[in-house]
């Protein structure tokens, strides 16, 4: 079935739930107005609908291949990427100084969501390039910027992130890739990297790798790591791709999903690279790339959720099976449980979309207003947006298979592809468990100030909403009080392992309440018992109560986990 971009949802959230106008009113983004935003999203939506979505199945059925050392992309991917590049969609938030649109992340996040819904495997390519661009904008020398940024922003070249090694996954400090200083100021990079998304393409002139490596005098752990840009082809005197660098794609991984996205094992043999940032300061540079990439991955989860929901809804409206005691469409959408699944899919997707956009607005305001409060808010929301968005993507895609029944397990229907493709997102850019650990540790080093500020905001709105939606408002307010207790418990634990033992249910509980907050705002703005209100009522009545068990779990501490011995877990 065709994909339809959720433009009405974006507009409703911007106008009634989050207030995009505060971003547009800043000097940084003053050239934007509501009409321009609508036009941009409309064009991005058409790209996703008409160009990207028709190629999505190709990536699953005819995956990227490595033939005689050369990558061959899935049918239609090259033309679709060309459309992305020609439309300026590779990096809409990049600086106009080097050819970017300079759009706020609150718009780029919506664009990325729609592109991911159209074709996640292909959208991964520009998403990685976006992070690459940002790292260079912030940390690279002017010479590197002048060579690389115009090419990356235009889509002529693409970018990757090279962190992981066979022995160094999330523990980046254990990497063994080496860097040596060359006499001309460049560096020789030697080592192997794994899980490199779009490690090569056949539709860009060059591929530029951001590689973490350790200099001979680099200390142990993450503090001794440096970051280098290492191109597939070394730029010549005119900045065009020149001689081949001494690097290669060794193999492509065989994966559960996103078959159209080549995940490469990369080998570097004294490959020529250039330092980005300062020596031994590579993690700082890489985190510039990773933080916004986390929001981007969260939006990917939302995009696949939307596509999977639409796929399931279309099937439910067409499939005739069994009888129900109600008169309706005469198809399976009349069954109560199918209706429950579809309502869950739609309401969860709305909540995750609003959360991703709120995080993006906080990032924009932190940049435009140079506000510590906005920056703190953005930092706190980022791990929640990444984790919740990807968990929702997985949950909704799985429900999509279930709505199809036995046909969902048959590949020809396409429902299973969404479930397989989106599964990686909860692992990308730090697993969701790592996001939760970050939330209760680093993001609470302010003694919970950022968390409490959000809780105050939710409760304040719930109190004002009692006059309009009394039952829903009371439920949201009461749930927020429970979250406040859990937050106080977390902040009070000086042994971080006590926090870590319940960090995932804590994050999920926080996300569940944020979702209820967005739905309540949507219902209040509607002003009558319309579709937004009915969806909010479903979410608050049926999904919000999950917070009770989640937050009770969050406050159990670690003792019972470690009381279970390794022998207890043995087969």
Active site residues: 429
Within 10 Å of residue 220's Cβ, how many Cβ atoms? 10
- Burial of residue 231 (CB within 10 Å: 0-12, 13-18, 19+) is buried
Beta carbons within 8 Å of 433's beta carbon, 6+ residues apart: 503, 504
Q: Choose among 419, 425, 309, 414: nearest CA to 56.
A: 414
Q: Choose among 483, 475, 30, 474: nearest CA to 491.
A: 483
Q: Tell me the β-bridge partners of 230.
A: 209
- The Cα 112–Cα 347 span in angstroms is 20
From start to end of 12-99, where are the E strands?
65-67, 70-72
- Burial of residue 558 (CB within 10 Å: 0-12, 13-18, 19+) is middle
Distance of CA 219 to the CA centre of its chain: 32
Helix extents (H) in 281-369: 282-318, 336-369
Beta carbons within 8 Å of 164's beta carbon, 6+ residues apart: 172, 193, 194, 195, 196
- DSSP for 497-536 reads HHHHTTHHHHHHHHHHHHHHHHHHHHHHHH-SSSHHHHHH
Q: Choose among 359, 338, 348, 347: nearest CA to 394.
A: 348
From start to end of 378-431, where are the E strands?
none
> Do residues 191 and 225 make contact, with C-beta atoms less than 8 angstroms apart?
no
SS3 category, 171: coil
> Do residues 59 and 121 make contact, with C-beta atoms less than 8 angstroms apart?
yes
Q: Are strands 187-197 and 178-181 parallel, antiparallel or unpaired?
A: antiparallel
- Burial of residue 417 (CB within 10 Å: 0-12, 13-18, 19+) is buried
Beta carbons within 8 Å of 303's beta carbon, 6+ residues apart: 112, 113, 114, 115, 116, 117, 118, 120, 123, 393
- The Cα 197–Cα 208 span in angstroms is 12
> Do residues 506 and 490 make contact, with C-beta atoms less than 8 angstroms apart?
yes
> Do residues 430 and 170 make contact, with C-beta atoms less than 8 angstroms apart?
yes
């Amino acid at each position: 079935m065709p994909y339809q971009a959720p433009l009405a949802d974006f507009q409703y959230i911007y106008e009634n739930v989050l207030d995009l106008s505060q971003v547009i009113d800043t000097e940084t983004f003053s050239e934007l107005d509501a009409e321009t935003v609508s036009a941009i999203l409309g064009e991005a939506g058409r790209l996703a609908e008409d160009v990207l979505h028709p190629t999505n199945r190709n990536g699953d059925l005819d995956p990227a291949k490595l033939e005689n050392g050369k990558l061959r992309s899935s049918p239609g991917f090259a033309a679709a990427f060309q459309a992305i590049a020609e439309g300026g969609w590779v990096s809409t938030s990049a600086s106009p100084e080097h050819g970017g649109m300079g759009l706020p992340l609150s718009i780029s996040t919506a664009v990325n969501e729609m592109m991911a819904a159209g074709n996640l495997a292909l959208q991964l390519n520009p998403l990685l390039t976006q992070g690459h661009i940002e790292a260079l904008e912030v940390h690279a020398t002017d010479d590197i910027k002048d060579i690389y940024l115009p090419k990356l922003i235009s889509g002529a070249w693409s970018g990757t992130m090279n962190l992981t090694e066979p022995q160094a996954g999330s523990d980046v400090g254990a990497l063994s890739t080496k860097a040596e200083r060359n006499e001309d100021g460049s560096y020789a990079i030697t080592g192997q990297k794994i899980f490199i998304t779009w490690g090569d393409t056949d539709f860009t002139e060059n591929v530029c790798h951001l590689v973490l490596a350790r200099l001979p005098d680099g200390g142990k752990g993450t503090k001794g790591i440096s970051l280098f840009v290492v191109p597939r082809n070394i730029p010549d005197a005119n900045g065009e791709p020149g001689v081949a660098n001494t690097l290669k794609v060794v193999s492509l991984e065989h994966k559960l999903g996103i078959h159209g996205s080549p995940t490469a094992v990369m080998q570097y043999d004294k490959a020529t690279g250039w330092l980005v940032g300062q020596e031994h300061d590579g993690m700082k540079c890489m985190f510039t790339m990773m933080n916004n990439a986390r929001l981007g991955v969260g939006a990917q989860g939302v995009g696949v959720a939307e596509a999977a929901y639409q796929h399931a809804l279309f099937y439910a409206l067409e499939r005739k099976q069994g009888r129900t005691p109600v008169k309706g469409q005469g198809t399976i959408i009349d069954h109560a449980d199918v209706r429950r699944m579809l309502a869950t899919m739609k309401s969860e997707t709305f909540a995750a979309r609003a959360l991703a956009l709120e995080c993006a607005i906080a990032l924009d305001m932190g940049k435009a207003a140079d506000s510590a409060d906005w920056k703190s808010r953005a930092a706190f929301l980022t791990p929640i947006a990444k984790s919740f968005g990807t968990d929702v993507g997985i949950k909704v895609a799985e429900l999509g298979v279930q709505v199809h029944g036995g046909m969902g397990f048959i590949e020809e229907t396409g429902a299973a592809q969404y479930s397989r493709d989106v599964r990686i997102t909860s692992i990308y850019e730090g697993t969701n468990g790592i996001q939760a650990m970050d939330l209760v540790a680093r993001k609470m080093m302010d003694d919970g100030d950022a968390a409490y500020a959000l809780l105050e905001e939710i409760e304040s709105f719930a109190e004002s909403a009692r006059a309009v939606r009394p039952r829903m408002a009371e439920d949201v307010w009461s749930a927020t009080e429970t979250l406040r207790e859990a937050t106080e418990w977390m902040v009070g634990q000086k042994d971080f392992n006590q926090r870590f033992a319940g960090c995932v249910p804590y994050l999920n509980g926080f996300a569940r309440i944020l979702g209820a907050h967005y739905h309540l705002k949507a219902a209040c703005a509607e002003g009558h018992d319309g579709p937004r209100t009915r969806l909010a009522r479903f979410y608050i009545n049926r999904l919000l109560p999950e917070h009770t068990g989640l937050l009770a779990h969050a406050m159990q501490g670690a003792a019972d986990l470690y009381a279970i011995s390794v022998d207890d877990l043995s087969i």
